[in-house]
Structure 1
Amino acid sequence: MRKQLIVYHMGKPVEIVIRNYGISDIEGMIAIQRASFPPPFPSELWWNETQLREHITRFPEGAICAEMDGRLIGSMTGLLVRESQLEGEHTWEAVTDSGYIRNHDPDGTTLYVVDLCVIPEMRKAGIGKWLMQSMYEIVVHLQLRRLLGGGRMPGYHRYSDKVSASEYLEGITTGLYNDPVISFLMRCGRLPVGVAQHYLEDEESCGYAAIMEWKNPFIHE
């Protein structure tokens, strides 16, 4: 994949490229993580070279990045899974093999999102939405059933003593609550299909995540 786009950054049009990332992009991919998750976020939780090499070799179609003026400014990674891989306890570590995607199944019909990341200075330019749109295009191109993934609910901790995680998610869909991640995913076209407990060690989300889906509109089940 490679496509050129115009986005608006600080009110001015700038050209970006969305493409697959490769071995030569490893340092740039780690730099995205470094800029997005500075200390006190532990650096050992950034992508490492072994993980990135697994992404590139096991499912290169699902390893995409955004580039501006030769600098990587965002990335998104996915793997293919079978429905049986989604059974039981639904956690990020279990479904993504802790980010190594060694459980990628070429015969899987669901593209599962491992990660979506944009550097802070470009988060108002719509880069994340364009990366998501590009993943939808991969779903269509590969004739997959759907895109799926867990979305953090960082606003939930403010209401966890009043409503359940499911009630909070329903409140987002009705406009009662606004959540920076889930509201963004809905604006990108994804719909909630459930809630997973203990999905990530995430205090803001109280360990919960919304399972968000986008169905391939060209496949009718």
Structure 2
Amino acid sequence: METISKIELRNLQIEDYLELRASMIEAYSGIEDAPWKEHEIKKLLSIFPQGQLVVLADEKVVGCALSLIIDDKDIDDNHTYEEITGNYTFSTHNPSGDIMYGIDVFIHPKYRGLRLGRRLYDKRKELAEQLNIKAIMFAGRIPNYSKYAEEISPKQYIEKVRMKELFDPVLAFQLSNDFHVKKIMKNYLEGDTHSLDYAVLMEWNNIYYDKSPKLINSEKSIVRLGLIQWQMRPLKNLDALFEQAEFFIDAVSGYGSDFALFPELFTAPLMADYNHLNEADAIRELAKYTEPIYQKFQEFAISYNINIITGSMPNIIDGNLYNCGFLCKRDGSSEMYTKIHITPNEVAHWGMKGGDVIKTFDTDCGKIGIIICYDVEFPELSRLMADEGMQILFVPFLTDTQNGYTRVKSCAQARAIENECYVAIAGCVGNLPRVNNMDIQYAQAAVLTPSDFAFPNNGIKAEATPNTEMTLLVDVNIDLLKELHEHGSVRILKDRRTDLYEIKKK
């Protein structure tokens, strides 16, 4: 698997052809005449440009998905690949049709395992919804069938793959992406010896399809948040922390979460090996893990296609100790944030310093803010972020007692109301008897909302069970915030007396 720093998914351009061809040769090794010709790609781009997708890793084309639109009545269940593509002329394309037909999907072998194919499939589904397309169809190869052909029929093979008794890399992937088997076809793709010329006609149905075409909002309005209520437990080493973290990332991404939020200082169990040192020296030893943890979480963000907010970790910059975290985006980019306000305890025991940068972050789900624990008790920070268009405020926290947690939650709820935004909070739970100054924790993760008719009466969208390790998965509707801002019972951001006062950054 290649190490990459940036992922981009966009429409194919003719300038991509040489890289596309090189990746396709690698992806279809052993299949003669596999690469598309340049004139064929030009034709696809001329008739259906939005249906041709590529995924880039560090600006190199490493995957592709090509599609046509075909009318349902024109599809014969026993068609061949040549027939469905009009003998590679794409004369079968019908802009008024109701089926998006996938004629190719591939990922360069060196970039498999990063779930890039899933991104292409998800983008196809999104496009189908935007275009009010009834279904997506394609005929998938079954390249492992030749190994079992003497023992079982194609129908039995498909069932065994579906029940996970056998593995087929193509079919298993398609089934996991909500496609169902429509028909087994023979002689679909001439020369596909691995599949013995068999193919499986697959279909995904668009539940939003309406025979009476209507505009479908193409802008993402529902954002799913995955909050991780992390149990403090002894960890043998860094790999044990990665294993636990990946378990939660896998879980929340499996439910389609756009964000995973970890708590403040959730890496503290690794400090147990330094309990013989004084507290200030011990946390500086913990800070040595921050860079490899950051790098690993960047990999997780790409692999699991999720934006990860890494809570916070001690970080030494120019000899000074800070409480920092990272926003690891699923496109491979990342940004750092730093705790601004340091508690008296953090100063007395660890000698921490506060950061000096106040900013918001642009993501594929809109503009967000991130502040750490004590910061939420200072309303100026989030108000400055709201003025920059923040819609979701994330607050990783760590509190040892219930009264400390009450301060964080109460202030977070106030920030949601006064800034007309959602606030997501997540903390650590449990005990760490062998780590000084980190021995007990209390938390209850929650997503808090403004208080108006479109939101819960108590201003709480959802909350976790107190002091229990778990995840909290919550959908938030960004369009409701827009409606509140313009037509709410009260309009706090609009009604400020800026003629009398204002808050600004220095």
Q: TM-score, normalization: structure 1?
A: 0.88
For residue 174 of structure 1, report the CA deviation from its aligned partner: 2.3
* From 187, 194, 209, the counterpart of 1:204: 194
**Structure 2 residue identity aligned to 1:17:** E
CA contact 1:54–1:102 (8 Å) conserved in 2: no
Q: How does 1:43-58 map to 2 (within 5 A)?
A: 44-58=33-47
Instruction: Please state whether the residue corresponding to 1:181 is helix, strand or coil.
Output: helix
Distance 1:68 1:180 in 2: 22
* From 11, 26, 34, the counterpart of 1:20: 11
Q: Which has the higher contact order (CA 8 A, sep 6+)?
A: 1
Q: How does 1:71-220 map to 2 (within 5 A)?
A: 71-87=60-76, 89-201=78-190, 202-219=192-209
Q: How many residues align?
A: 210
Distance 1:119 1:88 in 2: 30
Distance 2:10 2:89 in 1: 20
Distance 2:5 2:178 in 1: 24
For residue 88 of structure 1, report the CA deviation from its aligned partner: 5.6
What percent of counterpart residues are identical? 25
Distance 1:26 1:104 in 2: 21
RMSD: 1.9
CA contact 1:73–1:118 (8 Å) conserved in 2: yes
For residue 220 of structure 1, report the CA deviation from its aligned partner: 6.7
Distance 2:169 2:135 in 1: 23
Point out the more displaced range, 60-69 or 96-105.
96-105
Q: Cα–Cα, structure 1 residues 125 and 99, in superposed 2: closer, same or farther, change >3 Å?
A: farther
Q: TM-score, normalization: structure 2?
A: 0.40
Distance 1:122 1:99 in 2: 28
CA contact 1:192–1:212 (8 Å) conserved in 2: yes
Structure 1 gap segments, 5+ residues each: 1-8
For residue 107 of structure 1, report the CA deviation from its aligned partner: 1.0
For residue 210 of structure 1, report the CA deviation from its aligned partner: 0.9
Distance 1:88 1:169 in 2: 18
Point out the more displaced range, 123-132 or 26-35.
26-35
**Structure 1 residue identity aligned to 2:198:** Y
For residue 37 of structure 1, report the CA deviation from its aligned partner: 3.2
For residue 141 of structure 1, report the CA deviation from its aligned partner: 0.7
CA contact 2:4–2:58 (8 Å) conserved in 1: no
Point out the more displaced range, 53-62 or 96-105.
96-105
Q: Cα–Cα, structure 1 residues 100 and 19, in superposed 2: closer, same or farther, change >3 Å?
A: farther
Q: Cα–Cα, structure 1 residues 41 and 91, in superposed 2: closer, same or farther, change >3 Å?
A: closer
Distance 1:131 1:23 in 2: 18
Distance 1:219 1:58 in 2: 23
Structure 2 gap segments, 5+ residues each: 212-506
